[in-house]
A and B are shown apart, each in its own frame.
Chain A
Amino acid sequence: MDHKQTPSDVWIAELRARFPTERTVDAALTRKLRDRAGLAYAPTSLARMEELLRTFFAQAVPGGIVSDVRPLGGGASKEQYRFDVAVGGTSQTYVLRREPPESIVETHRLREYQLMRAASGTVPVPQVPWVDAEGQWFGRPSLISEFVSGVTKPPSSSSNVSGLGTEFSAEQRALLGPQFVELLARIHQFDWRSAELDAFDQPTEGTTDGVISVINWWDRVWEEDCYEGVPLMRLAAQWLRRNAPPIDKATVVHHDFRAGNFLFDPDTYQITTVLDWELSHIGDYHEDLAWTMQEGYGYYDEAGRFIVCGLVEQGEFLRRYTELTGFPIDQRKLDYYAIMNAWKSTIIVVATGIRCTIGGKSHQDVLLSWIAGFGNITMNTLETLLRKEIAHGA
């Protein structure tokens, strides 16, 4: 067993000092390390989960009756349970998202809760009535949202885990693609300064502070979680620090806006909700654009054109985005964030995912050890992009 499985207080303090980042990001990562030497994941019986929910709803919705508690698949990160709450003859379906002891991304529930509430009305998101940010009610941090119906992929489509590689027909693309771009544009145009987002630190526009904070966040995660050295990752981190561009316009960055992270009605192809806000932060919209345009999330068509997330041709994606937002596209920044995102993706699947499985910390260990194979794709992309930049002397 390596020393990372039993983190010392000295090591934790050293990491926090070496990689200063947002307050609530630091809080989530520190909690992960402090709990790491503790127990592995153990399933909670549905009877016990129902008991926890009944205790919670006895005070949250007096008279509410909890029933039909069921586990949900589909997510790589958090445990999810669907359940009903009946009050006075009316029943509402909810989803509980609970952190496992460690997760493929370690995030703070308060951030997810605040941003989903803030974004409501701007884009379709599930209503999030409750958060248990410290795990007082459910043993581990959790939030509860309303259940939204819809599917992540066409009924006849194949895909890998987590919505990766989802296939859409030309007709389906024509229906979903424009909505997909418009929703991203609306997220970036959202007036976050007027929202209640005190769990987030605000980057100073015109400086690189916010970019360095993001690099520190993920460099720290690499240090905390990587099991096997990958020399390229160190090289990439150095390059990212040296070449960080200033954030000229700070926007909400969803950070995982792609196929698999929205639901749509399988009959009308109307997008019903945008999911997975847990990595969101305030930053540069180019970071989101480059994330969504990652090679691993799309494909090249027969004409050699890249289809973003299998939904929109890349040129059309950027043209329509600019029309909707009026935001300029800086190709240098797109290139920069393409490297940053390939680096972050590799950290998530190759470092944190594997670290979770070493400790047996997640309900999805079998998925995490499978999805690690995606890391070779992101690493190959990272090498290709970084080689170009280094060849140009950057």
Chain B
Amino acid sequence: MIPDIELRLDSVRRALTEVILPGIEADNSLAIEQTMLAIGHIGMIIGQSDKVAEYAAICFADLAGAMADLPPAIGQDTAAAAAALAAALPLPEQGTDCRAAYRGASAALEHLISTADGDGDTPFRRDLHQRVLAFTKRQSRRERSWFGASGFDPDARTLPSIAEMISAERKTTLGS
């Protein structure tokens, strides 16, 4: 694959930076702003492109681990929603893109939270909420690293780089 994706993206970034942006009329602030955003996006994508599949696998594996072995639910609707979530948690076959599996499991979990608010018993709800909070803390930290190049994070210095995060999660979450 010559040239590879990163090289092609980098050449687009350079064209935008060195030729197209200076060529925009100074009073076209919308075009200037969007060109700068396009340059920023490409830079971020270059840092992520070869890690997307592994990142999705980490997110899904952590979600599946966080929701494994939920206590039995007493309410009928909650028990059905918990069963639906359990059915969405098995790891996809190796080599499969985990993004769809992650979305499916997240939707099933949202539904379980809604249902448990109806006929879920208090111990089940408490356990579920603690698991959701703990998972969210880890997931939002991962996402903050993943999108760190966007420059929004007030605590960016405390976050690992994407490569450091993936490397650590490979051991702790994927167990490899």
Q: Give the B-binding residues of A (Cβ under 8 A).
A: 70-74, 160-161, 164-165, 228-235, 238, 295-296, 299-300, 363-364, 366-367, 369-374, 376-377, 379-380, 383, 386-387, 390
Contacts and interface: CB of A to CB of B under 8 A. Distances in A.
11 contacts: A228-B106, A229-B108, A300-B154, A366-B41, A371-B150, A373-B152, A377-B152, A380-B137, A380-B144, A386-B133, A390-B130
B133 A376 contact: no
B37 A376 contact: no
Contacts of A367: 33-34, 37
A73 B133 contact: no
Contacts of A383: 133, 136-137, 140
Contacts of B137: 380, 383, 387
A296 B152 contact: yes
B42 to A, nearest CB: 11
A294 B149 CA distance: 21
Interface in B43-60: none
B146 to A, nearest CB: 8
Contacts of A164: 152
Judged by DSSP, the binding face of A is helix
A390 B152 contact: no
Contacts of A380: 137, 140-141, 144
A374 B113 contact: no
A367 B39 CA distance: 12
A71 B110 contact: no
Nearest to A230: B106
B150 A231 contact: no
Contacts of B132: 231-232, 235
A234 B38 contact: no
Interface residues of B, number: 40
A229 B109 contact: yes
A369 B44 CA distance: 12
Contacts of A229: 103, 106-110
Interface string B108-125: 111001100100000000
Contacts of A160: 150-152
A370 B34 CA distance: 10
Nearest to B141: A380
B39 to A, nearest CB: 10
Contacts of A72: 29-30
B143 interface: yes
Contacts of A379: 136, 140, 143
B164 interface: no
B136 A366 contact: no
Nearest to A80: B30
Contact of A231 (B34, B113, B141, B154): B113
A387 to B, nearest CB: 5
* Most chain B CB atoms below 10 A, which of A74, A231, A379: A231
Contacts of B153: 376-377
Nearest to B146: A376
Contacts of B135: 231
A70 B34 contact: no
Contacts of B150: 160, 370-371, 373-374
Contacts of A228: 102-103, 106-107
B27 interface: yes
Contacts of A363: 30
Contact of A387 (B34, B133, B141, B151): B133
B41 A370 contact: yes
Given A229-B110, A231-B132, A234-B113, A377 B30 contact: no
Contacts of B106: 228-231
Contacts of A235: 113, 129, 132-133
A295 B154 CA distance: 8
A70 B141 CA distance: 41
B37 A231 contact: no
B94 interface: no
A73 B135 CA distance: 38
B65 interface: no
Contacts of A377: 144, 152-154
A345 to B, nearest CB: 11
A231 B33 contact: no
Contact of B32 (A73, A233, A372, A373): A73
Nearest to B145: A376
Interface in B13-28: 27-28
A73 B30 contact: yes
Nearest to B144: A376
A377 B141 CA distance: 9
A368 B74 CA distance: 43
B6 to A, nearest CB: 20
A67 B176 CA distance: 65
Contacts of A371: 150
